[in-house]
Amino acid sequence: MPDSQHMVVAAMRLRQTSPELWEDFILGLRQYAAQVTDDMKKAAPENLLRVQGMAIMAAEIAAILIEAPKTYDRMQEMQRGKRNG
């Protein structure tokens, strides 16, 4: 799996700048991921692999960003440990 640290840090900057905007963004992302997954069920056979890939990608990005606050906290703890160790 690719390293998502940069995405997590950028997401936390957005969240810190505007918590309300962050919540709206996450809500929209969840809705998009659900819609893409639903579209996969209706895809024509010749489009199934492409739509399936889009659904997987949307779900993975949503999961990374939804978990970003916890991931960011763990990253910060690791950095503190490196400085203190």
Residue 48 has what pLDDT? Answer: 92
Mean pLDDT across the chain: 92
Using the predicted structure, report yes or no on whether residue 2 has a pLDDT greater than 70: no
Provide the residue ranges of all domains of the chain, joining segments of one domain with +: 5-68
- DSSP code of residue 37: H
**pLDDT at residue 72, rounded to an integer:** 95
Confidence grade of residue 85 (pLDDT, cut at 50, 70, 90) = low
pLDDT of 46 above 90: yes
- Residues 13 and 51: their CA atoms lie apart, in Å, by 31
The answer to whether 74 and 7 are in contact (CB under 8 A) is no
Q: Which helix (H) or strand (E) holds 63?
A: helix 48-66
Q: What is the pLDDT of residues 16-38, one digit of tens each?
A: 999 999 999 999 999 999 999 99
